[in-house]
């Protein structure tokens, strides 16, 4: 028996996704740009998937661009805005807790001469949003805040921050990396006041290598790539019809089950916290009202990597901090108030609809054994 508890890193493709991908590979393998009927068939598949992603975000299908994933969507949003609107407005505002694909893009803009303001989270959402908006001035072209932190599950006050930021500078372009919130917590793209919004396929039971950027009509981005007219010229190159179709199918299935999945995750998370707290030396880092899908905690006296491998030997799969950082500390935990000494022993478990109470029991029992055997041995 195994327990896959690393769903914030990636998820298992759903049957709907796999079926759509296979069908596109085996039967509908035309190029959407071809003028014959096979091309048209492929184009219809892309259109249907676009409508499904749009429905999941409660927006018009015409505002969805397919990309190779959230890393590309984030880069497209940040560099595309900076190149188009940043000639004179040289300031950009972001947070200190973003994913590497946002953080590194802003670091690069800074090296190019942009003034990058990074706002740290506050204990109160209102204060955080206020500080974020206060950093926006008339010379600011872009403000970006993630929706759900991938390491801790904190839900950031995106709507309040971006609304206040736009009030300060109506010309401002706003962006939200919504990867860990998409089809996990309810929101609509326009409600968040994000002109640009990033989502990824493989976090919602679609394949790796597919994502989308949603843009508010009227926002003009400088493309990262130049070529044909696909994706309105913003993202040229022959569309990955199989991955796009799979993304649409996965999103449609997930949209229909958002509420039961959210409640299921919430009860697993509550159960996991209760069982962990029966052990000694556990510190929970995730906030009570964070994403139900993510739980970050420390097992004091056990280094994350040691525990991660101990669990993997028992076919229990978790992350140390964030999977993207491959064991390297990102500094994000410290920003959320986790002392450095505990950051070293932090484990992130993340749930999906497929997890059960058995998985939680397997995890917590294995941690208890690890505490007895590994800590005792030293």
Residues that bind ligand PMP (CB under 6 A): 69-71, 99, 101, 146, 150, 177, 179-180, 200, 211, 324
In Å, how far from its chain's centre is CA 209? 14
Which of 19, 1, 9 is closest to 293 using CA atoms? 9
What's the number of CA atoms in the CB half-sphere (13 Å) around residue 328?
A: 5
Could you tell me the two tokens for 127?
Answer: 């204060």
Q: Do 145 and 161 form a contact (C-beta atoms < 8 A)?
A: yes
Which of 281, 287, 273 is closest to 342 using CA atoms? 281
Q: In terms of residues, how long is the chain? A: 378
The least CB distance from residue 107 to ligand PMP, in Å, is 15
Q: Do 299 and 345 form a contact (C-beta atoms < 8 A)?
A: yes
Burial degree of 38 (CB within 10 A; 0-12, 13-18, 19+): middle
The least CB distance from residue 242 to ligand PMP, in Å, is 17
Q: Do 73 and 81 form a contact (C-beta atoms < 8 A)?
A: no
Q: Do 157 and 147 form a contact (C-beta atoms < 8 A)?
A: no
List all residues 6 or more positions away from 135 whose beta carbon is below 8 Å from its beta carbon: 93, 117, 119
The least CB distance from residue 178 to ligand PMP, in Å, is 8
Q: Do 55 and 250 form a contact (C-beta atoms < 8 A)?
A: no
List all residues 6 or more positions away from 302 whose beta carbon is below 8 Å from its beta carbon: 345, 370, 371, 374, 375
C-alpha–C-alpha distance, residues 31 and 13, integer Å? 24
Could you tell me the two tokens for 254?
Answer: 């997930």
Give catalytic status of residue 324 as yes or no: yes
Q: How many Cβ atoms from other residues are within 10 Å of residue 154's Cβ? A: 25
C-alpha–C-alpha distance, residues 238 and 7, integer Å? 30
Active-site annotation holder among 141, 176, 272, 324: 324
The least CB distance from residue 304 to ligand PMP, in Å, is 17
Burial degree of 198 (CB within 10 A; 0-12, 13-18, 19+): buried
Strands 140-144 and 211-215: unpaired
Q: Whose Cβ is closer to ligand PMP: residue 30's or residue 211's?
A: 211
The least CB distance from residue 94 to ligand PMP, in Å, is 13
C-alpha–C-alpha distance, residues 247 and 343, integer Å? 34
Catalytic machinery residues: 324
């Amino acid at each position: 028996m195994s327990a896959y508890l690393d769903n914030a890193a990636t998820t298992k493709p759903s049957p709907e996704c796999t079926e759509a991908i296979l069908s596109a590979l085996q039967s509908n393998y035309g190029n959407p740009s071809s003028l014959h009927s096979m091309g048209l068939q492929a184009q219809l598949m892309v259109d249907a998937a676009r409508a499904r992603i749009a429905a999941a975000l409660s927006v018009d299908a015409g505002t969805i661009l397919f990309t190779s994933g959230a890393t590309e969507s984030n880069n497209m949003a940040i560099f595309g805005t900076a190149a188009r609107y940043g000639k004179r407005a040289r300031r950009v505002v972001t947070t200190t807790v973003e994913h590497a694909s946002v953080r590194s893009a802003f670091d690069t803009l800074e090296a190019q001469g942009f003034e990058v303001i990074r706002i740290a989270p506050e204990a109160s959402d209102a204060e955080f949003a206020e500080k974020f908006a206060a950093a926006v001035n008339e010379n600011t072209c872009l403000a970006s805040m993630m929706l759900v932190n991938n390491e801790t599950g904190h839900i950031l006050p995106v709507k309040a921050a971006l609304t206040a930021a736009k009030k300060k500078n109506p010309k401002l372009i706003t962006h939200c990396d919504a990867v860990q919130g998409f089809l996990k917590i309810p929101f609509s793209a326009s409600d968040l006041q994000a002109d640009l919004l990033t989502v990824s396929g493989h976090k919602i039971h679609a394949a790796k290598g597919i994502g989308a950027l949603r843009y508010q009509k009227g926002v003009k981005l400088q493309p990262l790539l130049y070529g044909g007219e696909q994706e309105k010229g913003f993202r040229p190159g022959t569309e990955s019809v199989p991955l796009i179709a799979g993304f649409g199918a996965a999103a449609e299935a997930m949209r229909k089950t958002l509420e039961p999945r959210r409640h299921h995750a919430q009860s697993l998370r509550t159960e996991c916290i209760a069982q962990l707290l029966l052990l000694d030396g556990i510190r929970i880092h995730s906030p009570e009202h964070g994403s139900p899908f993510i739980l970050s905690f420390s097992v004091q006296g056990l280094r994350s990597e040691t525990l991660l491998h101990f669990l993997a030997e028992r076919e229990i799969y978790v992350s140390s901090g964030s999977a993207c950082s491959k064991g390297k500390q990102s500094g994000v935990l410290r920003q959320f108030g986790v002392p450095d000494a505990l950051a070293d022993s932090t484990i992130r478990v993340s749930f999906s609809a497929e997890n059960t109470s058995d998985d939680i029991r397997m995890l917590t029992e294995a941690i208890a054994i690890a505490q007895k055997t590994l800590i005792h041995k030293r």
